[in-house]
Amino acid sequence: MFVVLVVLIGLSAFFSGSETGMMALNRYRLRHLARQGQLGAVRASKLLERPDRLIGLILLGNNLVNNLAVVVATVIALRLAGEAGLAVAPFALTLVLLVFAEVAPKTVAALHPERVAFPASGVLAPLLRACYPLVAGVNLLANGLLRLFGIRPEDVDAHQVSSEELRTVVNEAGAMISSRHRRMLLSILDLERVSVDDIMVPRNEINAIDLEDPIEDLVEQLTHSLHTRLPVYRGDINNVVGLLHMRRLVTRMHRDKLTKTLIETCCEEPYFVPAGTPLHTQLRNFQRQQQRVGLVVDEYGEIEGLVTIEDLLEEIVGEFTTDPADLMADVHPQSDGTFLIDGSANVRELNRTMKWELPTDGPKTVNGLVLEYLESIPEPGTSLLIAGYPVEIVQTASNAVKTARIKPSQRRTPRDDAA
């Protein structure tokens, strides 16, 4: 009878460990292994399609063997110590079941769910088929009770992952994903948070061709242009004629003299992008429309800036250029550890380049941040705190902040303020 008791305790440990192991399986890794054809993963995946039946089988078996163990332990105690043994047996058996049939197997299963669940599925699957009528009857009663509370066991949670949860998974991938690839994956997830307004070239910085300029100025501008596509307009940037493809112009110049008419005939139809378009949507639109350059327009049709496919891809893979001057053109380090920043500097670019944490949910430039905070045009020498960073206004114009000094080493955090 001692042997029978040990076997029953072992069976109880099997059911307890199986329950924890099956429920602790990583569902995405399980699907991956099942698609690869691993037998244990396939069996476990099928069992978890109806967790109510699996839990019903495990609890049925666990309760059955535990009750049998109580009966056997009671008989053993009665034979060894008479009626006095009946008082000791429940406490002794509870301690044994707790340690050997509950805590120990469940701990192992929680730490190594695949090692426990996959072999256990080989026993649970045929056992479920053998006991199906009994399990189905128990589930029928339990599911009927759950439906009274609006719970339908058939509606198994699909375990869909939100973008925030996926971001956590990527961040915690550790050595499984290189830091560079991890940054790229996080950048892809951030595309839905960022719009074309955040990466566009502002209107006042667009390198464009004005057909009302003298032809000599146009020749000079085209000769020194670093871009393959240039917007062409008349008088005002809002009067866009089209996008000039430099390669097409050079090809025509072999046969014809450069004139304003030739420039206009080499232009393509401009492609307009509504302001506020999320980057993941614009990436799809660029691909669908087979475009590389778009002019960002507001609700009134006024041009706000220019966005390119290269700007968008840089949000994912990082800067293509390796010239530090391109990255730091708006940032001027000083010997005292401060930085002189041009008012037109893009806040997101500053955060990315300098590893700062300036707010990006409002204005896009340093000038915009200052004006939003002060709600007026500041005088030189004005100091303020933006996201804890001390900012000093160095130079202003009639309507904008030209230069500001930022002191990142003196940044104050909420913890500093609390202290």
Q: CB-side exposure of 221: number of CA atoms within 13 Å?
A: 19
- 294-312 mean pLDDT: 91
At residue 143, the 3 state secondary structure works out as helix
Residue 149, φ and ψ in degrees, nearest 5: -100, 15
**Res 111: pLDDT:** 92
Q: How far is CA 417 from CA 92, 273, 411, 412, in A?
A: 58, 43, 11, 7
Segment 336-395, tens digit of pLDDT: 889 999 988 888 888 878 888 888 888 888 998 999 988 888 889 999 999 889 999 999
Closest CA to 306 of 231, 365, 241, 194: 231
pLDDT tens digit string along 241-263?
999 988 888 888 777 788 888 88
Contact of 346 with 319, CB cutoff 8 Å: no
Crossing angle (nearest 10°) for helices 179-190 and 309-317: 130
Q: Give the model's pLDDT for residue 322.
A: 45
pLDDT, greater one: 130 or 329: 130
Q: What is residue 170's predicted lDDT score, i.e. its pLDDT?
A: 79
Please tell me which residue, 88 or 414, carries the higher pLDDT value: 88
- Is the pLDDT at 324 greater than 60? The verdict is no
The span from the CA of 216 to the CA of 218, in Å, is 5
| Residue 169: pLDDT over 60 | yes
Whole-number percent of the chain with pLDDT over 90: 30
Encoded tokens for 114? 């695949």
CA distance 295 to 305: 6
260, containing H or E segment? helix 260-265
| Band (172; pLDDT cuts 50, 70, 90) | confident
Closest CA to 282 of 198, 349, 209: 198
Decide: 243 and 292 in contact? Cβ < 8 Å.
no
> Can you tell me the distance from the alpha carbon of 108 to that of 17, in angstroms, rounded to the nearest whole number?
7
Beta partners for residue 404, in sequence order: 341, 393
- All domains of the chain, ordered by start, with CATH? 2-147 (no CATH), 196-317 (3.10.580.10), 324-418 (3.30.465.10)
Is pLDDT of 192 > 60? yes
pLDDT of 317 strictly over 90 = no
User: Does the pLDDT value for residue 6 go beyond 50?
Assistant: yes
In this predicted model, what pLDDT tens digit does every residue of 13-47 receive, in sequence order?
999 999 999 999 988 788 889 999 899 999 999 98
Weakest mean pLDDT among 131-140, 150-159, 175-184, 281-290: 150-159
Give the residue, 221 or 173, on which the prediction is more confident: 221
Give the global pTM. 0.61
